Structures are given as structure tokens and as C-alpha cells.
Amino acid sequence: MDMWERCVGILLLVFSIAYLAGALSLPMGRPNQPGPGIFPVVLGIALVAVSIFHVVKVFLAKSPAKNRDEFPYGKDLLRVMGVVGVLVAYGLFLETLGYIVTTLVLFIWVLRFLGMRSWARLVLISIFGSAGSYYFFKVILSTPLPSGILFP
Amino acid sequence: MDALSGLSFGLSVALQPQNLLAGFIGVVIGTIVGILPGIGPIGAMALLLPSTFGIDATTAMIMLSGIFYGSMYGGSITSILIRVPGEAASVVTVIDGYEMARKGRAGAALAVCAVGSFMAGTLGTVALMFFAPVLAEWALKFGPPEFFALSFVGLILLSRIGEESMVRSLIMVGLGLAVGTVGMDVVSGESRFTLGYIELSQGIGLVPIAMGLYGVSEVLIISERASEVTEAIKFRMRDLFPTRKEWGRSILPMFRGSWVGFFIGLIPGPATILSAFASYRLEKRISKHPQEFGKGAIEGVAGPEAANNGATSGAMIPLLSLGIPFAPSTAMLMAGLMIHGVQPGPLLISQRPEVFWGVVASMYIGNFLLLVLNLPLAGVFASLLRVPQYLLVALILMFCLVGAFSLNNSLLDVQILIGAGLIGYILRKVGFNVAPLILGLVLGPIMEKSLCATLFMTRGNILDILTRPLTATLFVLCGLVLALPYVLRIIRAHLRPGNSRDGKKGVRDEPEGE
């Protein structure tokens, strides 16, 4: 009886069915003239079959899987959620706000959330980390990082 | 080109200043990521792939493979000094390595690890040098059916050999294959599963997925625990020299471990990890004093540490001679080849000899550099662990994000990275291993292309491929491996009636240790 394992098992099954449905809409071709759909369809059928098997197994299982690890709770969960949150925000705002701003926020947020106490050092490291890496990647390695609206 | 002229040619390539530097950087980075928790060789290779864009293919490969075998050296340092394996292949080293350290023999354990790794790395490279060209020449005769069979059987065996349940591995393989079908179809060029994103017609790259699964999700796992400073066991420089007795006890395990590792490296699966366990079990079984294992037996450090390095050389063979990676780390190396327009496959050695022989020669040099670096500097490397966790997390995240973006200058890759990180975290938490996903993603296109070509060839009768000797052998072999556990179970069930009395007696007389 493990809610997480069941949820993940069902989500995998849903994904497999959706994938198979998508694959079936592709042209299959004939066996001697294979089309773009043939491999995805075969794969989709196999995936659905294995996922059903897995879901049944998980629902019948009395004890959690061997490598199953407990999800964190309380303060530990908060830390993980903090990192997840800033990552999602990073993915959404990188292009509009630009590399320096988003990376600065990422540094400050992560350092603070994971327990760095001194604000002065924290801000210093963050500024150095974001500006320094911008200089390193953009100027030395000429990676075209987005500069954003603040530094057009 | 025979092995010796090949090697001398390779040395002339590997000794060019930029390649020597690349090898040095590679092994140093490898050692560092081997030590640091939160990022292992796969993540590190994914991170550095984008930065190799500007440099030559050979130089890039020398650096990337340096990270791969270098990480095997680094992992043992933390296993011994703080009882935390830096990467998964050093899990076994913790058992006896940490016990040795507690008895004040940390230096000796570190030295034995470095020497064993060096010996296995070098022996493995010798075997690679002789074996890979022969295999590649043979593989020139392979047609699409053989490649289909190799990739298919490889993925199935991988799911069987891994440590967790086969159903779970197969789901991960299937997910990887499914992700691999996104984008332009290899045969007709039609867009598939792009959900309206034009950028997705290029396909979902291995690099953002690998960085997400091995970098970001690992970061989330370390974030769970509050920051704590781990104190490493101190050791003195002069303790770095094992006694004559310690040498005598470790030389044969190193030798055996090298070959155990090399041969396990050839098989699909997490070779570096499995080989370390196999070597440990072997040493314990043949040892004259098995009771010392777990209490600081030097054989239990020497054998496994040699084995995981031997496995890195073995794992290079399917990649360099067939173009089929059987381990996640060699999958990253293949991505490196392809980014530089080098087509992996049986023609690699004859068409791009500078890449193959350059990498082989650099492995000799790299292993020597690692020996020299690791012996006196083990303590310096171990002090890297004092880098506070929050700083490590911030830096790893920054490198992942920049790396994903710089690949195609696309925000979508950054989002794929973050998505893969979250999904990877949840999957790992509920007991899935993400390595088969990576291999499915890499082998998928090879498998689909060869399947379609096979269908053309056999006019739709896919079963015709069973008339070809090699494909038939592979499928039979695969069937045997799959059936083996069930056959063994039946045999055991039949033997049980006679055994039950001995079994009871055994419980009373000598309790089984394992």
C-alpha cells in the first residue's frame, strides 16, 4: 500500500496510452514499406502492456519497492520545494528578464533556502556568481546568453 | 593499422599540447565529480558537451573519456575517508575501505585504490587496443538486421541484468525509446509527437535529459538533507605507503579485478557498479581469511577498485567498434562524437583513426596522470568536501542551466532540463533507475533505423532475420539469459527434498554470513 507508487504507476500508464494514441494517428505504411508510425505503434503497445503489468503489480504489492525512498516532509520538503520553485521560475523568466537577473535570483534563493546565514556573504557570492558566470560564458566562451530587458 | 603502429600514431595525436591539456582537464574534472556528491560522470559529461563545440572532435573525446575513467579514481577517495561513495561504482569500497581508514590505514587504502585503478585502466586499455579493431573489422559485415538485434537484445539484457525488477527497467527503456521518437522521423522525415512546437522537430536532445536526470534530480535529493559538514578521516603522507604485506595481499586481487571488470564492461548494463560487486564477491569467496572482509580487508578495496576501472575500458569497446553504447556513460561519449559530426559505427576506427587511436593513447597517459595526481593529492581532493552544500547546489544548477541553454540557444532545452529533473526526482524516489531511460533514448534511433531497413530488406518478413546466424545467436542467447532464473528456480525446487535436512543442520552449525 503505497500511494506514491500507485500514482506514478497510473501516470505512466496514462502516458503510455496517450503515446499509443498519438502513434496510431501516424501513417503506418505497409510491412515492406514501413511508415513513420510503425516503430512508435509497436513501442506504444509494448509500453501499455508493461505499464498495465506494473500497475497490477504495484496495486497487489504488500510492501513498498526495494529502492523506494520516503519523500521528505516538513522543513526538508520545504527546502526541496524551494529549489523546485526557483527552477520553474527560472525556466519561465530566463528569456524576458535575462541571464544576469534570473541567475542572481537563483543564487540568492538557493543559498538562503539551503541554510546560508550571513546575508552579506550571500549577496556577495550571488552577485559574483551571476556576473562572473555571465562574463565567463558570454565573453570568453561566447555563448549567446539572453541579456533581457534590463541590459539591452 | 596494427596495434603498435596504431598506438604510436595515437601517441603522436594524444601528445599534441591541446590534447594533452584536454586529457589533463578531463581527468581532473573526473576526479572532482567522482568526489563531489550530487554530480557524477554522466552529469559532468553532459555539462561539458556544449563547451566542446568549438574544439576538435579528438580533443573533445579525449577530455570526455578522461572524465569517465577519472571519476572512478575520485569515487574511492570519499568512500574511504568519509564513508560516502562519491559515485555508485565505489559503493563496495566503502565496506572495507572505511574500516581500513578507522584502523589508521587510510593512506594505504588510498594508495592501493590508485595503483589498482591504474593497473586495471592500463590493462583494460591494452585489451581495448587489440580487441576493438578486430571486432570492428568483423562488424563491417553486419547489416541492418544485426544492428537491430544488437540494440534490441542489448536493451532487453540491460533490463534483466540491472539490480531492480525487470518490469521497472522495461518501463524506463520504453520511456527513453518514446522520448527518442519525438521529432523528425529517421526514414520519412515526418514530424512526430511535436505537439505544435517547431523546435521539437529536431528531437529531444540527450544532453538536457541526462543533465536533468543526473544533475538536477540529484541536486533535489541533496537538498532534502540540511547542510552538514562531514569530517574526513585525517591521514599522514607517510602512511600512503602500504606495507610489503599489504602489497602482497592486494596485487592478485587487482589483477583479477581488472579482468572481471573488463569482461563485465562488455555486457549491457551498469558495468562499473556490477563489476565492483562481482569482484568483491569473488575475492571474498577465494580468500583464505574471508572473516576479515567487512573489517578492513585490503583485498576488498583492491579488487573492486580495479574492477570498476577495468569496466570503463571494456565499456568503450561496443561504443568504439560497433557504435552502440551499452552504458549511460558511453552513451554520453557517443553524443559527444555525434555533436562533432563523427559517425559512430564499425567504420570509425578506419575512417577516423585519429579519434580512436588518440583516445586509446590518451587513456594510457590519463591513467598515469591520475596515479600521479591521486597519490599525493588525495587529501587535497578530499578537502573539496568542505565546500558547503548550498554553494555546491547553486553552482551545479547554474552549470546545468547554462549548459542546456547553450546547446541550441533555446529556452525549450532549459525547460526540458527542468522537467526531466523533476520527473527524474519523483521516479528515483519511487524506486525507478533512470539509466535505462538514457540508453533507450540513445539506442532508439539506431533501433528504429535498422528495423525499417530490415523490413525493406526482408520485404516485410521480419522473422527472416532469424535465418542469419548472428542475429539468431543473439536472440537465442537473450532467451537463455531471460529463462535462466526460472530454470534455476525449477532445479532448486527439485533438489529441495534432499537438501532440507542439510539446510536445517546448516542453520545450527554455521550461520550464513551473506
Q: List own/partner pairs for A40-43 with CB under 8 A and 24 or more apart.
A: A40/B178, A40/B181, A40/B192, A40/B193, A43/A19, A43/B174, A43/B177, A43/B178, A43/B181
What's the confidence (pLDDT) of residue B15?
92
**Contact B508/A at CB under 8 A:** no
pLDDT score, position B378: 78
CA angle B130, B131, B135 (to 5 degrees): 135
Please count the CA atoms within 13 angstroms of the CA of B270 that sit on its side-chain side.
Answer: 23
Residue of chain A nearest B456, judged by CA positions: A32
B412 in A contact zone (CB under 8 Å): no
B436, B159 Cβ separation under 8 angstroms: yes
ipTM: 0.93
Q: Where along chain B do its domains lie? A: 3-467
Task: Classify strands A33-34 and A29-30 as parallel, antiparallel or unpaired.
Answer: antiparallel
Flag if A53 and B167 touch (Cβ within 8 Å): yes
What is residue A151's predicted lDDT score, i.e. its pLDDT?
63
Which pLDDT score is estimated for A49? 96
Q: pLDDT class for B507, splitting at 50, 70, 90?
A: very low
Contact check, Cβ <8 Å, A125/B391 = yes
**What pLDDT, on a 0 to 100 scale, did the predictor assign at position B105?**
86
Determine the 3-state secondary structure of A33 from DSSP: strand
Strands A33-34 and B183-184: unpaired
Higher pLDDT: B382 or B231? It is B382
**B209: pLDDT confidence band, cut at 50, 70 and 90?**
very high
Cα→Cα distances B384→B35, B78, B92, B443, Å: 8, 10, 22, 36
Orientation of helix B17-35 relative to helix B353-382, angle to 10°: 40
Give tens-digit pLDDT for B384-397. Answer: 877 888 888 888 89
| pLDDT given for residue A20 in this prediction | 95
Does the beta-carbon distance from A110 to B224 stay under 8 Å? no
Q: Between chains, do B455 and A31 touch, taking CB under 8 Å as contact? A: yes
CB atoms within 10 A of CB B216: 29
Of B178, B395, B397, the CB nearest to A43: B178
Whether the CB-CB separation of B88 and B40 falls below 8 Å is answered with yes
Q: What is the mean pLDDT of residues B229-246?
A: 73
Work out the pLDDT band at B424, boundaries 50, 70, 90.
very high
Contact (Cβ atoms closer than 8 angstroms) between residue A117 and residue B383 = no
pLDDT digits (tens, 9 = 90+) for B105-114: 888 888 899 9
Percentage with pLDDT > 70 across chain B: 93
Least confident of A84-93, B236-245, B470-479: B236-245
CA distance linking residue B198 with residue B192, whole number of Å:
11
Q: Which three cell numbers stand for residue A142?
A: 561566447
What would the grid cell of residue B457 be? 530488406
Determine, for residues B456 and A33 on separate chains, whether the beta-carbon distance falls below 8 Å: yes
| 3-state secondary structure (DSSP) of residue B183 | strand
**Shortest CA distance from A102: residue in chain B:** B398
- Report residue B354's pLDDT band, with 50, 70 and 90 as the boundaries: very high
The pLDDT of residue B65:
94
Residue B424 has phi, psi (to 5 degrees) of: -60, -40
Question: What angle, 0 to 180 degrees and rounded to 10, lies between the N-to-C axes of helices B389-408 and B411-429?
Answer: 130
Residue B80 scores a pLDDT above 60: yes
Q: How much is the average pLDDT of A3-31?
A: 91
Q: Which residues of A touch B448 (CB under 8 A)?
A: 39
Region of poorest pLDDT, from A51-60, B100-109, B503-512: B503-512
Of the pLDDT bands very low, low, confident and very high (cuts 50, 70, 90), residue A152 is low
At residue B37, the pLDDT reads 73
Name the residue with cell 576506427: B349
Averaged pLDDT, B342-362: 91
pLDDT of residue B409: 85
Give the residue with greater pLDDT, B35 vs B417: B417
Question: How far is residue B451's CA from residue B320's CA, in Å, rounded to a whole number?
Answer: 22
Tell me which of A62-66, B148-152, B188-192, B329-333 is least confident: A62-66
Q: How confident is the model at residue B177 (pLDDT cuts 50, 70, 90)?
A: very high
Read off the amino acid at residue B493. A
> Is it the case that residue B341 has pLDDT exceeding 60?
yes
- The share of chain B scoring above pLDDT 90, in percent, equals 34
Q: What is the pLDDT of residues B248-290, one digit of tens each?
A: 899 999 999 999 999 998 888 778 888 999 999 999 898 888 8
Which tens digit of pLDDT belongs to each residue from A109-142?
988 888 778 889 899 999 998 988 888 888 777 7
Mean pLDDT of chain A: 87
Longest dimension (CA), chain B: 71
CA of A151 vs chain B CAs: smallest distance (Å): 18
> Quick check: A7 pLDDT over 80?
yes
B463 touches chain A (CB under 8 A): no
Per-residue cell: B510: 554455521
Mean pLDDT in residue range B139-160: 87
Please check whether residue B283 is in contact with residue B305, taking contact to mean a CB–CB distance below 8 angstroms: no
Gap from B348 CA to chain A (nearest CA, Å): 27
**B-chain residues near A143 (CB < 8 A):** 50, 402, 405-406, 409
With 70 as the cut, is the pLDDT of residue B504 above it?
no
**Cα A107 from Cα B187, distance rounded (Å):** 45
Question: What pLDDT is recorded for position B319?
Answer: 92
Q: At which residue does the C-alpha cell 565496506 appear?
A: B95
pLDDT(B39) > 90: no
**What is the identity of the amino acid at B175?**
L
Chain A hits for B432, CB-CB cut-off 8 Å, are 67
> What's residue A50's pLDDT?
94
Q: How many of the other CB atoms lie within 10 Å of CB of A143?
A: 20
pTM for the whole structure: 0.87
Question: Do residues B301 and B348 touch, judged by C-beta distance below 8 A?
Answer: no
Q: Which three cell numbers stand for residue B23?
A: 586529457
Residue B464 predicted with pLDDT over 70: yes
Domain-wise residue ranges, chain A: 3-60, 75-140
Is the model's pLDDT at B230 over the cut of 70?
no
Q: What is the mean pLDDT of residues B348-352?
A: 90
Find the mean pLDDT for residues A20-29: 90
Asked whether residue B513 carries a pLDDT value surpassing 60, the answer given is no
pLDDT band at A8 (very low <50, low <70, confident <90, very high): very high
Structure confidence by residue, pLDDT tens digits, B432-451:
888 889 999 999 988 998 99
Taking Cα atoms as reference points, which of B25, B32, B77 lies closest to residue B396?
B32
Per-residue model confidence (pLDDT) at position B498: 54
